[in-house]
Structure 1
Amino acid sequence: MVGVTGAGKSTLAAALGARLGLRYHEMDALYFTGPDWAVNATLVADVGRLTERPGWIIDSPGYPEVRDLLWERADTIVWLDYPRRVIMPRVLRRSLLRSARRERIFGGNRETWRSWLSHEHPVRWSWTQHGRRRAELALRVADPRFAHLDVHRFHDPAKADAWLRAQGRSVGGAA
């Protein structure tokens, strides 16, 4: 699954994994492994092991350290290419709930009210990176190195949901 922060990649990836009986891995949980947003020092090796065999789904192969590895090993890319009017309410709702509930996320970290001031906060990141991420993904799916990929690009959540409902056991390693 690829797309901007808040598009629904994790939700769709988990649902697809359950539907197809594939192993689903949340990239943010692989990347952030400790308090204070500590980054996984063995990320490349960990992702390499997870994707050695077919039958996996990762929800955001955007981290530079593993991006090419994932795109090379995947056979399918599902691109949630939604407009800001779809994404922003989702990411706002998610961050508001996480902050209000003091919900633990990746590596035991939390989104805090203070973190809303950071340029890396998911709401701000989603807004500022929307156009850049779309352009980057368009270049990647057109890159001849990734011509082997079956790309499904959705501009509308209803179409992505319909695609999900239609899936059988035909997808191997998806990113």
Structure 2
Amino acid sequence: MNRKIIITGTTCTGKTTLGKKLAKVYSIKQVDLDDFHFLPNWVEKEDKVFVDDVRKELKTLDKWIVTGSYQTLLKDTVWQEASLIIWLDYPLNLILRRYFIRTYRRVFLKEKCCGENYESLTRTFSKESLFFWIFKTYWHRKRRMHNWKENLFSHKKWIVLTKPIEERRLKELL
């Protein structure tokens, strides 16, 4: 089977975590988009450089699991190549709960994220806060994914999960 999988969803849905689990089960390399997007000190790569870097990495692989969003940046490249899209369409209250747990681990337990970066209290309460980002993007991304599933990428295989417990069924669906 041609396994080129995208795991997408809004911030804090668990895309990377699920990707790591599936990568291990199926012996497929996981490519986390945040690791490609962020340079040290939270510097973001230019869009073209980011897309080119991701494409170069994927060209070296016969099968892959790409985790992350960056949907509009990658819709003409990675999304075209994908054979399966797993959309984590989780409710906002779950995402917010995960945000607070993740922020605690990253800020107070110094868990590394997004390449070589660390979150801080200052960043947590700044205009770049993930908390604000969630509210800014949640409904827009939901509408986009519904549209892409029904129209732009209707020819692709989709698995839409609405609760984390449904992740257990993925082995049956893949």
TM superposition score category, shorter chain reference: 0.7 to 0.9
- The structure 2 residue matched to 1:91, chosen from 70, 88, 99, is 99
1:34 deviation in Å?
Answer: 2.1
Give the TM-score, by structure 1 length.
0.84
Contact 2:84 2:156 in 1 (8 A): yes
Report the Cα distance in structure 2 between the residues aligned to 1:11 and 1:45, rounded to whole angstroms.
Answer: 24
* Gap runs ≥5 in structure 1: 171-175
Report the Cα distance in structure 2 between the residues aligned to 1:48 and 1:22, rounded to whole angstroms.
Answer: 17
Corresponding residue of 1:80: 88
Aligned residues: 165
Q: Alignment identity in percent?
A: 24
* Gap runs ≥5 in structure 2: 1-6
Deviates more, 1:38-47 or 1:106-115: 38-47
Letter in 1 for 2:139: G
Contact 2:10 2:69 in 1 (8 A): no
Report the Cα distance in structure 1 between the residues aligned to 2:16 and 2:169, rounded to whole angstroms.
Answer: 17
Question: Which structure carries more relative contact order (alpha carbon 8 Å, separation 6+)?
Answer: 1
1:107-142 Cα shifts (integer Å, max 9, x gaps): 422211011222331222123321111011111112
Is 2:117 the counterpart of 1:112? Answer: no
Report the Cα distance in structure 1 between the residues aligned to 2:79 and 2:125, rounded to whole angstroms.
Answer: 33
1:50-93 Cα shifts (integer Å, max 9, x gaps): 22353101111425433331110101000000101211111110
Give the TM-score, by structure 2 length.
0.85
User: What is the RMSD of the two structures over their aligned residues, measured on CA atoms?
Assistant: 1.9
